[in-house]
Amino acid sequence: MSNLVLEREVVDKLSAATEPCWLRDDKGNVVGYFHPAKSPTHRVYAEGEIPELSEEEIQRCLSEPGGRTWPEIKRDLERLV
């Protein structure tokens, strides 16, 4: 991923964003998408963005049955080849 250095005016505008938003030019054309790094529910790592989960969400995910077994997933993936 490449980096862009922004002018102070643009940084100030983006710093005011509290949630993800579309970036548009003065004609309304979409030029990109911005997701603030300071978002309280996300952290940005070199590998990408990882959402934060509350302790309750983690416990719920661990306690709920479901999903598929590795052999089931592997079988479905092999069908795609």
User: How many folded domains does the chain comprise?
Assistant: 1
Distance CA 58, CA 26 (A): 43
Tell me whether residue 17 is in a domain: yes
- What is the pTM for the complete model shown? 0.43
Range of the domain at 32: 8-80
Q: Is residue 1 part of a domain?
A: no
Kindly state whether residue 43 falls inside one of the protein's structural domains: yes
Tell me the mean pLDDT per 10 residues along the chain, length 81: 87 88 91 78 63 80 82 91 80
CA-to-CA distance for 56 and 43, rounded, in angstroms? Answer: 19
Domain annotation covers residue 3: no
pLDDT, position 55: 83
Question: Quick one: pLDDT at residue 38?
Answer: 63
User: Residue 52: inside a domain, yes or no?
Assistant: yes
Dihedral Cα 58, 48, 21, 13, nearest 10 deg: 120
Contact 34, 14 (CB under 8 A): yes
Query: Is 18 part of a structural domain of the chain?
Result: yes
